[in-house]
Every structure is written in structure tokens, then in C-alpha cells.
A and B are shown apart, each in its own frame.
Chain A
Amino acid sequence: MISFIVKRVISGLGLLVVISTLAYLLVFSSSANIALNILGQDATDDQILAKQKELGLDLPLLERYWNWATHAVKGDFGSSWFNSETVVSALLHRLPITLTIVAFAMTFAAILAVLLGTLAAIKGGWIDKTVQVMAIAGFAIPGFLLAIILVTFLAIKVKLLPATGWVNFTEDPANWAKSLVLPVVSLVLATVASAAQQIRSAIKSVMERDFVKTLTSRGIPRREIIFKHILRAATPAGLTVLSLQFVGMLGGSVIIEKIFALPGMGELAVNATTQGDTPVVMGVVVYTVIIVIIVNLVVDLLNGWINPKVRIS
């Protein structure tokens, strides 16, 4: 098991290096006028040159990357070029907001998807058809459209929930809960639709395997076959689907945070990318890759724990 974990961590670190390097090159290619963007359109040439020197933009690409990488390894991602806040501080303020929304959305989506997918696969009939229609509807209705509809009715018309903003749990738990509802619901729909459909397929394919027929012919109760054998065998596929959905949700939260004006990672990433704020963009990339690696590692470990064959492979 330890060698399994070590292998996964090493491959994760390799992925981190490759992605961060590519991201740095991409950001570099669009940062030609960054000093002007920071200083404003009326800045003089002398001011622009001074700013470029201050930020190290006059250095060659390799030297700039090396400076960034050597500091990043120590956990120092520098400060935002636009507001001088340290990148770590900006991320630590914003990451909990995004993770809270995604974690809640993921939890609800996982529960609903497993329930619906299992029911559809086992019961069949109208439940199966309903889940499939829901899956199509879930794919067809984008999360941002659902978000706008929800805001219009629940925030503006009924005034039941806040249209925008974030409240810290420690300040006001009730308003914290209220500020979570709409973003979470907006994220959940598409995920449930997609995951339920895939979990249904995974369970159905397990149900068609020979060992299920053998267990049935031996007179083992159907309930026991489902819960002890079929669901266990279908779990790795389900976990993989949910881990992919989690990563998708992190991306989807960018739009949702914009619509609900939530000061999360998504909004930070969009603003930093639009402005060309390299330190912040790189901080967001590294943190996001680390989260994805951790999620994949956890899923791999769970799969290995559930299914010994995974550990051997």
C-alpha cells in the first residue's frame, strides 16, 4: 500500500511541475503590457520602465521562471502585482469559500446521484426513464442559466435568499447557510444528472456479470446481492465518476461565483487572468492542481481499499 501511495504522489508531483511550467509560459506570452495595465493608460514611458524593473519583467523568461519556481517550492508565491496582497493570503481567504460550495454541492450530488442511479438500475421501469430524462435535462440546462432563474425567483421576487454575497459561518451561521443555498443548488443539478446516469450504467453492467447470476441461483436474497456484491463491485466506477465531477465542479464554480458575486477562487482566477496578474494566476494553478491530485489520490486509495486488484495493478 505504501509503494502504491508513493507512486501516486510522485506522478502527482510530476504533473504539478509540467502544468505549472506550461501555465507560466502561457501567462508570459500575454504579459507584454502588464506594467501599463497596472499603472493605467496615462502612465509615462519612464514610469512603465520603472514598474517593469520593480516586478522583474526586464529579466529573461528562464530567469523569471527560475525565480518564481525557487520561491514557490518554499511556499512563497509572491504578491499580486495589482493590489500587493500576498498570493498565499489571497488564496487562503478565497479557497475555503470555493471548497465549501463545491464540497456541499458534491455531497448532495453524490447522495442524489447514487440514490437515483441505483434505483434506476435496479428498479428499471418509469424510475429508469425518469432518471434518463433528468440526465438529458441536466445536460441541456447549463448551471449559470439555472442560477439566474433561481436568483430571479428566490432572491428578487420572493426575497427568500440573498442574490449575491458570502457570509462567514463564524459571523452569522444562518446567513451563511442562506448564502450557500443558491450556488450549491446551481452546481448540483448538472452533476447529479451526469453522475446518476453513469452510476446507473456501472450498476447495470455489474448486474449482467456471471457472479450475480451465480449468487441469485444459490438463493441468496436479492437485497444482500445488491448491497454486498453489486454496489461494491460498481463502487470504483462510481468513485471515478464523482472524482471527475468534483474537478468539473471546481471549474464550474468560476461562473457560479461570478453570478453570485462570491469572493472565491473562481473569481480570483478570472480577474487575475484578465489582468495578467502572473503571481496570482500561478498560485491559483498550483493550488488547483494540488487539490485535483489530492482528490485523485484519495479516490485511488479508496478504490485500492475496496478492490485489492487495483493495488496489485
Chain B
Amino acid sequence: MGETFGNNSDILAINPLFKRVSVTKSLWTFFGNRLPNNWPKSYSARNRFKHPAFGVQDPLKKESRKEVMKLKKRIAAVVAVAMASSITLVGAPAAKAANQTLTIGAVQDIKSWDPAQAHIGHFMPYFQAAYDSLLIRDIKGNPQPNIATKWVWSSDKKTLTLLLRNGVKFSNGESLDAEAVKANLDNNRKSTGPQAPQLTEVTSVDIAGKNSVRISLSAPNPALLTYLSGSSGFIAAPSTLGTTALASAPVGSGPYLLNSSKTSKGSTYVFDANPKYWDKTKQKFDTVTFKVITDTTARLNAILSGQIDATLLDYPTTAPALAGGLKLKQSFVDWSGILLWDRAGTKVKALGDVRVRQAINMAFDRPAMLKALLGGTGTVTNQVFSPTSGAYDDALDKTYPYDPKKAKDLLKAAGYANGFELPMPNITFANAAMAAFIAQYLKEIGITVKWQDVTPANFVGELRSAKYPASWFQLFQGSPWEAIQQMVTPNATWNVLKSTDPDIQKALDKIEKRPSALNEQATVINQLLTNKAWFVPFFRLPQQFFVGKNVDVTPQPQNAVPYLFNYSPAGK
């Protein structure tokens, strides 16, 4: 189990005298364990106390000897009682293994404990330790009851009523009831937090009873339950919302409580199991520690040396991790490729022709790129929806095989036999290999890429600035509605030049009229996007998550790292 340094601060707080004991003990642990095997026996603890220098009672003093005998009897009695107690405890069915700890090597530091600032991906396990969410996603990614035990949609799918669990309390003693849920959802949707866009269609949150809330929407949102089981559904004690204190210390009703004395901001966050938590099945560990280690090599070293139990690594660190006996838990979350935004041909006229976009798709030898860039870890693809999304169509991944001759023919048919220039942004220094491949393959069919370097800090902003007709990027593969809202609808963030298509719009309209048809219509949209070549997907990227020998974990679909509830002690 992961080594947690500095866990005696409580003792130090009680009595400064222990500082000296702690120093001695620690030094003994450091040097004592390394004493040679042939160390003289006279230095052993047992022999040491027989030596006159340690003040053994004079054997001639019978009174003293009697006292010693009495003391021995008392100790024997205490030991016997203790052993009997421990046997009883071992036999009890509710007994828990001694001090189960989980130490996670976190890729990113938490920015704020305010649920309004919660986010998916690397931030979810932090928030799941401290807070309950309204709903919870199961291992397949489907929303399940949690604080909301039941929910009912109105017939027009514009009102969602949640029935809340009774009797749940926050760590400060406040009740988690309808008022608390309303306060949190209002706080989330009015904030400038990362998940606020998920709640833009929410027009009001009303209290429908002590343990019931009604969420009204301006338009049906098939992903609302998914959002409420993710970063938009965490609930903090209402009295703390909007306070600066909430940013630095969570006040939730979650399975674990932040141990402030053992926590060092920006470095280590220690959580102890909440003794009053309502669902003990979510508390598989007595202590959960997050160690923030932003550097991948440092995370590899930490998990190989046993300092942490679980962490996310990458392709270059996979081989040493496997060689070190770590267990790989791979999942696919992002896709990587080119986003061809200028489908109307307003910036680069050629991109307005579907044949040109299809030609670009055929220009790339994806398996060769995957092998060269990621050592083959990943899956080549031609579609932007994930296999777990419900919109996935296996056959679509064979739409655009590497065929530069056919690509040239398509360009010729579209009137671009001599090619054209394609300006695209590139992250300075950080993306050289990918940029080289893209430029080389496009050059082979006559398209010249004009790279325009931007700094990493400005890259996303530059992409969204609508300056470029296309760009390489890496996007999250969420649920069908998340993906559609992310890159398909006219107002989607990654539909940068606001492209529209009558066939795609028909499918979107069908979803709005009949939200239950989401997966069916999302599959249609997926086929349209692929055939009309809105994108040039290269690969689905694996998350190389590793655990040590003491922990098991199941990856969570559509999340960068496993949820906290997916961990368990090894073999349990």
C-alpha cells in the first residue's frame, strides 16, 4: 500500500513531548532496520534491559521481586483479555481489514473545493471523496440513484422531478434536503465554473417538497441525468456556498472527510472515512490520499517504488511500468485527429467540397502513424463517437482506408488537381511529430500545410477564435448528446465556423421531438458526419492507468481516470 509520510501530526498536536519520541522512533526506523545480521546480541532489546546499567532491581531485594511478579501477573491478565477480545472481533462478520489505505498519484491539483468549480476527468475522484452527487454513474456509464433515489420526466421532457434521499447530513451537521439541492444547482448554473455550460438549458430549480426538487428546462436535454451524475451534481452544505472558505476545504456529505492536519495544499490531500456515512459500500478504504504529481516520470517512479498505489501514465512509460509488475487498466476516452471546420469553404474554398474533405481522410496511413507516434497503443478510427457511446457503428471505421491515389483522384474531380494551401495552428515545440506526419501525408496528395505557431497557453483560444479553417486537436468522447453538443450543433464549441447540414439538422430535430430516439438518431448523425467528412479522426487514445499489487480498479467509461468508487483493495 502506498507510503504516506508524516502521519503523526495528530500526536504532535496533542503533546510536544512526542516530538522527541517521534524523532527517535523515526531515526530507529531509518537506521535500525538496516543493522547487520551479525550485530552483537548484547545490544538486543531483551539483553539490554538485563544489564545493570539499565537499572534492574537488585536480586537481594525480595519486596521488589514480589512487585515485579505482581506486575507480570497483571500484564498476563491484560494480554489474555486483549487476545480474547481480538478473537471475538475476528469472528465478527462486520470486522474490517486493518487500516486499508489507497494512495492515488493525481495528475492535476484541485483548483477549488467549491462544487461550482468541479470538473470531469482528473477532478472527479477528489470531489467524489468529499461530496455526494445527485446521481451516480455505474461502471457502464449509466446514471443510477444516489442522493436522488427516483426521478420523473414530464411528457414534454422539459421538467425533471427528483425525489431525494431522506436523512443525509453534511459534515457540518446541515441537512441535505431540497433547499440544499436547489441552492447548489443555482450556484452551479450561475457560476463561471467549467461545468456551467452543462446547465445552460435549466431555467429554474424549484422546491417541490422537503425532499423533492423540480428542474425546468428551456428545451429537452437528453444528457441532463448524465450531467447530474457527473460534475454538475455535487452538493455542498448550502451555508458554505459562495464563501471563500469552501474553495480551500470541502463541506460535503461524501464518504470521506478531509484531514486538514495531514493535508498539504498543492501536494497531498488526505481523507479519512466518514464514520457517519450512509452507504458503507462506498468506503472500501479507511484512508484515501491524493498525491499531486504532475510529471509523468515522477509518477512512474512513485508507483514503482510503492509510494502510490495507482496513477495515470502514458505510452513512453508503459514498458517500464509493465516491467515493474504493475497492472495496466486501459480505457479509451479521447480521439485525436483533424477538425475540418470550414465545411462551407469560406476561408479555404476547397474545404467546401465534400470530395476534398474525403480525400484528406484517405491521405493518412493511420496504422503507420499510430505505430510511430504511440507505439501502437490506441485504435485507428474514422468516426468521432466512442464504442461505449451508443452511436458507434463498427463498419464506419473502414470508410477511409489509406489510399493516396484515390485521394488525388477525388481532388482532381473537385478541381484541385494541383492541390491548395491549408493554414493550421500548431503548438510550438509540443507537437512536432504529429505536425510532421500531417504535413507529409497531405503533401503527398498535393496539399501544403502552412503551420502557424502558437504557444500552449494560447492554443485552445486560437482554435476557438474562428481564424483557422481546420486544426489538429484531441477531443473527449462523451455520451452521444455530449458529443453532439460539443462538436455538431450550430452553437457547439467545436463547430467553430458554425457549420450546418440539412440532413444532420433533420436528425437533431428528431431528437428534440423524441429524446428517447437519441441513440438511434446519434447513430444516423455519426454516419452523416463520417460520410460527409466533417472530421479526420486518426485514433482513439488509450488512458494507460496503472495500479500496484495492493489495489484493483475498473476504468470508468468516458472519464480520464477511474472513479473513486471503482477502486478496491486487491482481491476484494
Contacts and interface: CB of A to CB of B under 8 A. Distances in A.
Q: Do A and B make up one complex?
A: yes
A268 B267 CA distance: 11
Nearest to B455: A30
A163 interface: yes
A162 B265 contact: no
A261 to B, nearest CB: 4
B6 A168 contact: yes
Interface stretch (A11-19, A60-68, A173-181, A199-207): A173-181
A93 interface: yes
A91 B7 CA distance: 24
Interface in B307-336: 307, 324
A276 B301 contact: no
B444 interface: no
A32 interface: yes
Contact of B464 (A36, A155, A276): A36
B460 A41 contact: yes
B305 interface: yes
A260 B457 CA distance: 24
B9 A85 contact: no
Interface stretch (A47-55, A234-242, A287-295): A47-55
Contacts of B291: 164-165, 261
A231 to B, nearest CB: 36
Contact of A165 (B5, B8, B23, B295): B5
B556 to A, nearest CB: 19
Interface stretch (B90-98, B167-175, B192-200, B409-417): B192-200
Contact of B458 (A30, A40, A152): A30
A111 interface: no
B462 interface: yes
A8 interface: no
B461 A164 contact: no
A259 B297 contact: yes
Interface string B234-249: 0000000000100110
B6 A167 contact: yes
B305 A168 contact: no
Given A41-B460, A41-B464, A267-B294, A163 B5 contact: no
Contact of B304 (A163, A259, A261, A268): A163
A175 B301 contact: no
B137 to A, nearest CB: 19
Contacts of A172: 5-6, 8, 22, 26
Contact of A47 (B29, B196, B293, B301): B196
A163 B22 contact: no
A31 B462 CA distance: 12
Interface string B254-273: 00000000001111100000
B302 A165 contact: yes
Given A162-B3, A261-B295, A50 B192 contact: yes
B294 A33 contact: no
Contacts of A171: 5-9, 12
A260 B298 contact: yes
A151 B294 CA distance: 17
Contact of A276 (B324, B457, B486): B457
A83 interface: yes
Interface residues of A, number: 57
B111 interface: yes
B117 to A, nearest CB: 9
B457 A174 contact: no
Contact of A258 (B26, B29, B295, B305): B295
A104 interface: no
B306 A159 contact: yes
A32 B457 CA distance: 9
A9 B521 CA distance: 72
Contacts of A268: 266
Interface in B1-40: 3, 5-9, 12, 19, 22-23, 26-27, 29-30
Contacts of A51: 192
A33 B192 contact: no
B109 interface: yes
Contacts of B302: 163-165, 261
Contacts of B30: 174, 177-178
Contacts of B493: 41-42
B307 A163 contact: yes
A47 B23 contact: no
Contacts of A34: 457
Contact of A164 (B200, B293, B324, B464): B293
Interface string A71-88: 000000000001111000
B305 A33 contact: no
Interface in A213-251: none
B112 interface: yes
Contacts of B267: 165-166, 263
Contact of B5 (A31, A175, A261): A175
Contacts of A307: none
Between B5, B7, B295, B297, the greatest number of chain A beta carbons within 10 A of the residue's beta carbon is seen for B5
Contact of A168 (B194, B264, B461): B264
Given A43-B194, A171-B5, A171-B6, A83 B109 contact: yes
Interface of B: 3, 5-9, 12, 19, 22-23, 26-27, 29-30, 109-112, 119, 192-194, 196-197, 200, 244, 247-248, 264-268, 291-295, 297-299, 301-302, 304-307, 324, 455-458, 460-462, 464, 486, 493
29 contacts: A30-B455, A32-B461, A34-B457, A40-B119, A42-B197, A42-B493, A43-B197, A82-B111, A83-B112, A84-B112, A84-B244, A85-B265, A90-B266, A94-B266, A162-B3, A164-B301, A164-B302, A165-B5, A165-B302, A168-B6, A171-B7, A174-B23, A174-B29, A178-B30, A259-B298, A261-B293, A261-B302, A274-B457, A276-B457
Given A33-B461, A83-B112, A162-B5, 15 more contacts: A30-B458, A33-B457, A33-B460, A42-B486, A43-B192, A43-B197, A44-B200, A84-B111, A85-B265, A93-B266, A152-B301, A165-B307, A171-B12, A173-B26, A261-B295
